[in-house]
Amino acid sequence: MSWYRNTVWFVKGLREYTRGGYESASKRFNPADVEVDVAGRSFLVTGANSGIGKATAKEIARRGGTVHLVCRNKDRAEVAKEEIVTETGNQNIFLHIVDISNPKEIWKFAEKFRNEHQLNVLINNAGCMVNNRELTEDGLEKNFATNTLGTYIMTTALVPLLEKAADARVITVSSGGMLVQKLNVSDLQSESGPFDGTMVYAQNKRQQVVLTEQWAKAHRNIHFSVMHPGWADTPAVRSSMPAFYERMKNSLRTEAQGADTVLWLAVSAEATKLPSGLFFQDRQPVPTHLPLAYTHSPPEDEEKLMEVLEEFSQKFKPASPGI
């Protein structure tokens, strides 16, 4: 059955996830949806120094938004910030250096940010695909630490700030790869069996979909969404999936095309007319499971994921007032 799921996903991807798929889908887009002025609204984008994160931040900056870039590498982040300011003329671009694989750093950043800034939209874009099992300094498997736990802590730590904002939104950049994975709460850190970085990444992306659905139920005043950007030509794809990149490079979407639905979810009025908690591709909600793929999970597994992540989160939370 795993062979079936992978084959269906790849064939589907060839058709929909490429540049051609975007060009076809974009014929139904309403350009006015994203031709908006967001001056006075505050956006936080993680992993914003390259790829889809930078493309998203740049487009928000063009529309007048205040943009907080959360990046791990200071040198690359400063170059990205300068590029965004220069190209958009928007001076309200702020830089924060945070390693999303380090839960203590995220908590520390979130406490400071909550005391100093407002926030209308959180965009969880930072991610990684490490192809060999690697542990962080906290003993966490790096893909899980970044893609799942980091996303969980960043979001839950900033929810109190978002709940104070008008038209608050949280967008998480997932992947169509999650369609081949059923939620597995028994091995969140990939300790059992052979390690396959691509499938670990896909499992993390399934976890992000579940997180979004659970958050949408718990926080009714915030609009949550999760999306698949398609197969885009980004530095992360080139470095983490070199064989895939070589095979598909002439068909990959541009970074801006990959970021289009993130932007639409972040700024358009149309996005929040749809229910919270949905999975999007090319500006429309799409199913989170393939037919006959048997990737549905029982509710107790989804609740268990939230419980385990909360336990991890509290383990790394600093003992300080305000959090």
> Which residues are registered as beta bridge partners of 96?
70
CB 203 within 8 A of CB 295: no
Which one is catalytic: 4, 201, 245, 294? 201
Contact 159, 218 (CB under 8 A): no
- For the beta carbon of residue 198, count every other beta carbon within 10 angstroms: 14
Q: What share of the chain is helix, strand, coil (3-state, %, to 5)?
A: 50, 15, 35
Token representation of residue 40:
């006075």
Would you tell me the crossing angle of helices 51-62 and 74-88 to the nearest 10 degrees?
30
DSSP letters, 204-266, are: HHHHHHHHHHHHHHH-TTEEEEEE---SB--HHHHHH-HHHHHHHTTTPBPHHHHHHHHHHHH
The verdict on whether 245 is a catalytic residue reads no
Active-site residues: which are they?
A: 201
